[in-house]
Every structure is written in structure tokens, then in C-alpha cells.
Structure 1
Amino acid sequence: MTAVDRGVTGRQPQAVRSALAVLEEVARAGAGVTAKEVAEGLGLPPATTYRLLNLLVGEEYLVRLPDLHGFALGAKVAGLAGVIAPARVPTAARRAVADLRGRVRAGVHLVLVAGPTVRCADVDPDLPLASPALVEGHLHASAVGHLVLAEADDWREAVHHPGRLEALTVATPTRPAEVEACLAQVRAHGFAGQVGQLHAGVGCLAVPVRGAGGLLVAAVAVTSARGVVPVEYLDATRECAAVLAPLLD
């Protein structure tokens, strides 16, 4: 029996537009955005928003983040016009990162930076990040994010929801004064460090990679599931960042 193509009829065009709007809102708001926030951001009824979110999760365009009870972009988005296509990192830069991995007993990751946007471009294959999406979507809770926010004239403009700083753990800075204290440390010392703010018990040391004119173009992040990253790793990480600077500029 031959199927009859009835085309797009009735309310279907609006349903498609609404689904795409939900997808765009999650991309704009960042990982961890809740259904309520999506509904409010788009002016959609909550019931409609929940249905669309569930549909997009079922089709793998979105994923749920159980620890946040929110949503993030899913695997299928990778196929959409390079929205989250693998970042291009020069071979020489990957070698520099691999060399640092051989010198420290911790995870080493390269994160690209473009304004307030961060991208986990080269994650340690042996000691991977627990969730790159959280690093990219919650700048207030990661060492890399603190580097980025410390560059901003007003860090509140760089976070997705300045009025809702997610408490990912009991140590996450969720008050403006707490975030500002972290950023003051970054400006004073030239690098960022945190323990347990993104994942309980996990420490991270992040060193900036600067291009021409001192612009922040990337960060080298060293992570440890044992808590504080040993301070003796700082010099090696800075050496790696210096090698990366002309390669990523």
C-alpha cells in the first residue's frame, strides 16, 4: 500500500516552530536550564513546553541532566551545521597538551575561549571531565569559568542566568559576593583554582592561554578527583600555556 503524502497541515507548522524555539532556548540558556525557565523565556504554556522537551529528549536533540534536573543539548545537535562540531585544534597544540599529560598525574584538558563562550576542545582520554557540558554552561562554578568571568567588565553579563547561580554542590559560589571573591583571586594570582565547586571532591587548576594583546583564547585545565591539584603542577601548566599561545592565537 502506497503512503499518501498529506504535506504539513493544520497546527503542524506552529508545532515545528515551537520545538525549534525550545531547542534554541536551551542552546542560548546553557546546560542546566529548567523546563520552567524555558517556558518563561519563550512565553509558552508549561504543559506545551514539557511535551516539546520530552519529544526533543526522546529524539536525542536534548538530554536531561539528572544532577541538575535541567536540560542540555544532545548528541544529534552535533549534526546540525556544525553547531557543536569538534573544535579544530592544531596538531602541535594537541602534542603540547599530551606532553603535559605525561608530566602530571592528573587530567589535562584544553578549553577554547571566545568571549563568554568556552569549548572543551581536547579532553583527557584517560582522565576525562565528568561533564564538559557543566564546564561550558556554568562559568560561576568552574576554574575555567572563573578565568573567563575575571576578564569581563561585568561578570553578570557573561553568565546565562545571573539571578540564578546553580548550586551544583554545597561548595558552589551562588552569591555575587562569593563569585567576586573567586574572581579577585584570579586577578591577583593570574590563574584559577577550585575544589568541589563543580563536582564534589574534584579539584581543578586553570591557567590562561593568551593571544595577541593579552586576549584570553584558551585555558589549560588540570583536574584531580582527589581534591586540590598539587601546586607543583602550576609551573608545568604555565609552560604548556606559553607553548600553546602562538599556536592558538
Structure 2
Amino acid sequence: MADPLGASGELRARQPKAIHSALTVLEEVARAGAGVTAREVSEGLGLPRATTYRLLNLLVQDEYLVRMPDLRGFALGRKVAELVGSVAPSRPPQAAREVIAELRQRIRGGVHVVRYGDDSISIVDSDPDFPLNDELRVLREFDASAIGLLLLAEQRSLGRASARTAHAGRGIDDDLAAALARGYSSQIGRFVPGFGCIGVPIRDSSGLLVAGLCFSGPRTRIESPERIVAELANSGRSLAPLLA
């Protein structure tokens, strides 16, 4: 395949093929998930290795991509999150918002509602009084929060896999096994030392995971979760027919 950037390696606005290639690289990173390497992008798209590196570097410079901490892989960056955020997910219906408001009154702490796709998460109602610490990280690193762990556990139960795991090897298998055994997910200390979160699934009538309720708060409440899990599960049953 010819190098669409040309010998200069510069991306010019009048080079449609180069612009198309950059967008294709961005789509490939989104499809493959956080941690995909330049080599994997090159092979997945059939692009020359040198072209792929230049496009990846341009996208990193413009903050559409970021390098992973190990410097080997790439993930979607701040500008992509801003673009996604500009198309706000639909708000839950009024009846659902009433259930959520009552739940927040009963348990002080962050209560958030998300929807799930096959390999995606959208935050549809973040607690305004206790906002999520890092929404972008929640959306792109599924193993970093109870919200993402719910989806990973569901995928594992269905024999699927996700590339959106930045902390593989840090107990992810134990986290998923625990979530499958208990019916809810939890994590402590990955976002803020001394704090954590709990995720409880919301399923449709066929049992498919469609949404989730998440509580975030001090680690003492996550380590003794019985009351919180019961409250989340009870509200989740009320929300299921409203969100499915």
C-alpha cells in the first residue's frame, strides 16, 4: 500500500487519503481497545508500519490518543471523550429518575447509573453531589472500576473477551471470579486511595446485562457492603423495566 503521507510525513488538509487513514487508525484503536500496539494497528489495517507510527504520533500530539503507561500501547484520548460527551446519552425516564433520587437519599455517597453495550459503557446519570473521579478512565479501562468489572464479568460468563483492560495481571481474574460468584463487583483504591466502588447489574427480562447501578464511597463502606448491595439490588429491580 502506498504511503498516504508522502515522503515528507506531513499530514496536509488537502490529502484526503491521509485524513481517511488517520480516522481509520482512530477507529482501529477504538475497536481493539486500550493497550493496542502500533504493530497490531498496522497489521489490523494493512498499513505500512512507518505510516502507522506517524499517524499514531500525530493523533497522540493532538490528544485524540494517549500512550499507555508502559509506552507500548495506545488508548483513546481526551478529545475523543469530549466528542463522545457532546452527544449526550438519553436521560433515564422520569420514573427512573425518581427511583434513583430516592436511592441517593437513602444511602449517602455517589450513586451512578450506566448503560452497557456489547463492549461499551455510557454514563447516563452521574451523581451530581458525588461525581465520578475520572469518567474517561471509567469508559476506557474496564478493569479499573466496579462499573467496568460488571461488564467484564458478563463477557467472561458468555465466553467473550475485551481488550479494554489496563491492569491485567493485577488480580483481574480474582476480581471477575468474585463478581460472578457474588453477583456484584467491587474495587478499592484504584482511583482514590481509601475509596472504592460497588457495581450491581440491571438485567432485562431475558437476563441480559443492560445497565448497572454503582455506589462510590469510603473503603470502610465497600468492605462492609451488605446494606449497600441490598439497596442497590432493590432499586435495580425497580429500574430494570424502565431502562431495558
The TM-score range, normalised by the shorter chain, is: 0.7 to 0.9
| Letter paired with 1:72 | L
1:219 is aligned to 2:212: yes
Please point out which of 96, 116, 119 is paired with 2:119: 116
Once the two structures are TM-superposed, the CA of residue 96 in structure 1 deviates from its matched residue by 1.7
Cα distance per residue 1:65-100 (max 9 Å; x no partner): 787865425446765xx7972221222222222222
SS at structure 2 position matched to 1:224: strand
Q: Which moved further from structure 2: 209-218 or 27-36?
A: 27-36
Match of 2:21 in 1: 18
Match of 2:242 in 1: 247
Please point out which of 52, 55, 60 is paired with 1:49: 55
- Measure, in 2, the Cα distance between the counterparts of 1:204 and 1:77: 22
Once the two structures are TM-superposed, the CA of residue 105 in structure 1 deviates from its matched residue by 1.9
Identity, in percent, stands at 36
- Measure, in 2, the Cα distance between the counterparts of 1:180 and 1:97: 31
| Letter paired with 1:121 | V
Instruction: Pick closer, same or farther for the CA change 1:153–1:226 going to 2, 3 Å.
Output: closer
- Measure, in 2, the Cα distance between the counterparts of 1:127 and 1:10: 43
Once the two structures are TM-superposed, the CA of residue 150 in structure 1 deviates from its matched residue by 2.3
Match of 2:184 in 1: 191
SS at structure 2 position matched to 1:214: coil
| Letter paired with 2:166 | E
1:124-139 correspondence to structure 2 within 5 Å: 124-139=127-142
1:206 is aligned to 2:205: no
Instruction: Pick closer, same or farther for the CA change 1:124–1:166 going to 2, 3 Å.
Output: same
Residue pair 1:193, 1:206 contacting (<8 A) in 2 also: yes
Q: Which runs of 5+ in 2 are unaligned?
A: 1-11
Instruction: Pick closer, same or farther for the CA change 1:234–1:154 going to 2, 3 Å.
Output: closer
Instruction: Pick closer, same or farther for the CA change 1:117–1:246 going to 2, 3 Å.
Output: same
Match of 2:144 in 1: 141
Instruction: Pick closer, same or farther for the CA change 1:201–1:51 going to 2, 3 Å.
Output: same
Match of 1:160 in 2: 163
Residue-pair matches, total: 225
Residue pair 1:144, 1:221 contacting (<8 A) in 2 also: yes
Once the two structures are TM-superposed, the CA of residue 26 in structure 1 deviates from its matched residue by 3.0
SS at structure 2 position matched to 1:194: strand
Once the two structures are TM-superposed, the CA of residue 16 in structure 1 deviates from its matched residue by 0.9
SS at structure 1 position matched to 2:152: helix
Match of 1:72 in 2: 76
Q: Which runs of 5+ in 1 are unaligned?
A: 1-8, 168-172
SS at structure 2 position matched to 1:242: helix
Once the two structures are TM-superposed, the CA of residue 241 in structure 1 deviates from its matched residue by 0.6
- Measure, in 2, the Cα distance between the counterparts of 1:156 and 1:179: 16
Residue pair 2:109, 2:217 contacting (<8 A) in 1 also: yes
- Measure, in 2, the Cα distance between the counterparts of 1:63 and 1:100: 37
- Measure, in 1, the Cα distance between the counterparts of 2:105 and 2:67: 32
SS at structure 2 position matched to 1:204: strand
Once the two structures are TM-superposed, the CA of residue 38 in structure 1 deviates from its matched residue by 4.7
| Letter paired with 2:104 | R
Match of 1:86 in 2: 88
Instruction: Pick closer, same or farther for the CA change 1:13–1:242 going to 2, 3 Å.
Output: same
TM-score by length of 1: 0.74
